[in-house]
């Protein structure tokens, strides 16, 4: 028996366990002050589900209690009622035409962005933004596609630094790459891509027979018309892109678990439809999302659901603005927030990400996320999130303003 030695290459959840450890140590040494800790580091939502979703779930539970309406295994790719709701609202309403066989309902974008590698040869060069959502990198390490870590970077991964100098947008690769992970609006930088710039990526991928894995988990936060909510708003995307979507941030489903992935029939390599491969992969390794969850997801698209979710999103968007404006007013260089729940800031006076983390924790009892944890190019940056309560967000921003305005 031989183990998958690729797992030995990965540090165990280095970023968030390190944050938790530092907060624990601070709390043990400063129990009184620690009572005032405000966490603006989390990527999890905090507001409860929209009432329309709760109502739909209750109704579905009742159906499960009667023999006539009980449901067993769900279809692997999703119930038609949800596939149609997704297709009509997220695509047809925006002039994008899909058949529901191109949409695959799942338990979330983490699983799908992590599992998608199954359908590609290990012999592909992967391109990722730096900083990046760690799942894209770690799953390629696990499967053996990453090569070895040399000076903090994986030898077979092509890194695309996203820095203030390039507006946090990846530049078109100067070398041949095969699998390109893009996430917009971006985690962690909070920055969005314009339709014009995304078109350049679509053209590159089509010309170079590369595939774009487009994570649009944060599309619900888009506010600007120049910013696409789906890569399929871009002409040519159907022949080069797979899109991942999630109800987690859109509708507070982080604990409920539901998302979906679009694999167009037009996406073909060597005459093979990737749609068939993903369908086969899901049918073999995934057994569908619960009926109750899918009814809740369907309710996201009801008139009531849409109204309620808009209010929830507005709450987080307001928090994002409070952080952005507050920090900008005391001299920080701040990014993101406009189309995203994330605020990305340059640490002051050339401080390291972790040094700044310690300062916020020790002096102000505010917890954020050091940018370096998302990749080497995140060093010198820091992420705050809009998912806290408005009261705590305001308090944290006041503390930061008082301290740094001095």
Binding stretches for ligand PLP (CB under 6 A): 43, 108-110, 113, 133, 183, 187, 215, 217, 246, 248, 254, 259
Structure tokens at 48: 């409860």
Report, in Å, the least distance between residue 135 CB and ligand PLP.
7
Report, in Å, the least distance between residue 13 CB and ligand PLP.
14
Cβ nearer to ligand PLP, comparing 87 with 139: 139
Q: Are 164 and 131 in contact (CB under 8 A)?
A: no
Among the listed residues 174, 135, 140, 142, the one whose alpha carbon sits nearest the alpha carbon of residue 157: 140
Cβ nearer to ligand PLP, comparing 49 with 364: 49
Q: Are 109 and 217 in contact (CB under 8 A)?
A: yes
Among the listed residues 200, 203, 166, the one whose alpha carbon sits nearest the alpha carbon of residue 186: 166
Nearest residue to ligand PLP, scored by beta-carbon proximity: 108
Cβ nearer to ligand PLP, comparing 106 with 146: 106
Among the listed residues 278, 242, 213, 366, the one whose alpha carbon sits nearest the alpha carbon of residue 76: 278
Cβ nearer to ligand PLP, comparing 259 with 380: 259
Report, in Å, the least distance between residue 189 CB and ligand PLP.
11
Report, in Å, the least distance between residue 3 CB and ligand PLP.
27
Instruction: For residues 178 and 118, give the distance between their C-alpha atoms in angstroms, rounded to a whole number.
Output: 15
Report, in Å, the least distance between residue 254 CB and ligand PLP.
5
Instruction: For residues 137 and 128, give the distance between their C-alpha atoms in angstroms, rounded to a whole number.
Output: 8
For residue 365, give Cα distances in angstroms to 30, 36, 47, 403.
10, 6, 23, 12
Report, in Å, the least distance between residue 230 CB and ligand PLP.
15
Cβ nearer to ligand PLP, comparing 221 with 356: 221
Cβ nearer to ligand PLP, comparing 259 with 326: 259
Report, in Å, the least distance between residue 187 CB and ligand PLP.
4
Report, in Å, the least distance between residue 96 CB and ligand PLP.
21
Structure tokens at 349: 């006076």
The three-class DSSP label of residue 344 is: strand
Tell me the residue ranges of DSSP E strands in 81-215.
Answer: 103-106, 126-130, 149-150, 153-154, 157-161, 179-183, 211-215
Cβ nearer to ligand PLP, comparing 269 with 286: 286
Instruction: For residues 256 and 235, give the distance between their C-alpha atoms in angstroms, rounded to a whole number.
Output: 34
Q: Which residues contact 311 (CB under 8 A, 6 or more apart)?
A: none
Q: Are 353 and 370 in contact (CB under 8 A)?
A: yes
Cβ nearer to ligand PLP, comparing 115 with 254: 254
Does a cis peptide bond (omega within 30 degrees of 0) precede residue 185?
Answer: yes
Cβ nearer to ligand PLP, comparing 256 with 400: 256
Instruction: For residues 135 and 296, give the distance between their C-alpha atoms in angstroms, rounded to a whole number.
Output: 26
Phi/psi at 396 (5° precision) = -65, -40
Report, in Å, the least distance between residue 42 CB and ligand PLP.
10
Alpha-carbon dihedral sign for residues 213, 202, 381, 6:
positive
The three-class DSSP label of residue 261 is: strand
């Amino acid at each position: 028996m031989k183990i998958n030695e690729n797992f030995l290459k990965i540090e165990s959840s280095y970023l968030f366990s390190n944050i938790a450890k530092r907060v624990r140590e601070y709390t043990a040494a400063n129990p009184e002050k620690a009572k005032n800790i405000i966490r603006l580091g989390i990527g999890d939502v905090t507001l409860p589900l929209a009432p329309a979703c709760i109502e739909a779930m209750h109704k579905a539970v009742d159906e499960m209690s009667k023999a006539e309406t009980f449901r067993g295994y769900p279809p692997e790719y999703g119930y038609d009622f949800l596939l149609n709701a997704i297709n009509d609202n997220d695509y047809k309403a925006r002039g994008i035409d899909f058949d529901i066989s191109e949409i695959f309902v799942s338990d979330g974008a983490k699983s799908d962005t992590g599992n998608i590698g199954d359908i590609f040869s290990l012999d592909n060069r992967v391109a990722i933004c730096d900083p990046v959502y760690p799942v894209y990198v770690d799953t390629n390490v696990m499967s053996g596609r990453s090569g070895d870590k040399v000076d903090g970077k994986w030898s077979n991964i092509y890194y695309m630094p996203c820095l203030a100098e390039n507006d946090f947008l990846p530049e078109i690769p100067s070398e041949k790459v095969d699998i390109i992970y893009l996430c917009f609006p971006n985690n962690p930088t909070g920055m969005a891509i314009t339709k014009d710039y995304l078109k350049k990526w679509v053209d590159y991928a089509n010309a170079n027979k590369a595939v774009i894995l487009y994570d649009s988990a944060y599309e619900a936060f888009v506010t600007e018309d120049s910013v696409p909510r789906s890569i399929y708003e871009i002409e040519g995307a159907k022949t080069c892109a797979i899109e991942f979507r999630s109800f987690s941030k859109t509708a507070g489903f982080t604990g409920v678990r539901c998302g979906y992935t679009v694999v167009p029939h037009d996406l073909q390599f060597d005459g093979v439809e990737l749609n068939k491969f993903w369908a086969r992969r899901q049918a073999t390794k995934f057994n569908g999302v619960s009926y109750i969850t899918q009814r809740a997801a369907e309710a996201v698209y009801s008139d009531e659901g849409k109204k309620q979710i808009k209010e929830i999103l507005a709450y987080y968007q307001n928090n994002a603005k409070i952080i952005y404006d507050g920090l900008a007013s005391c001299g920080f260089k701040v990014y993101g927030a406009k189309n995203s729940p994330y605020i990305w800031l340059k640490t002051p006076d050339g401080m390291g990400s972790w040094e700044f983390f310690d300062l916020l924790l020790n002096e102000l009892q505010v917890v954020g996320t050091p940018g370096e944890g998302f990749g080497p190019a995140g060093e010198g940056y820091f992420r705050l999130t809009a998912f806290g309560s408005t009261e705590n967000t305001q308090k944290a921003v006041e503390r930061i303003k008082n301290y740094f305005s001095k």
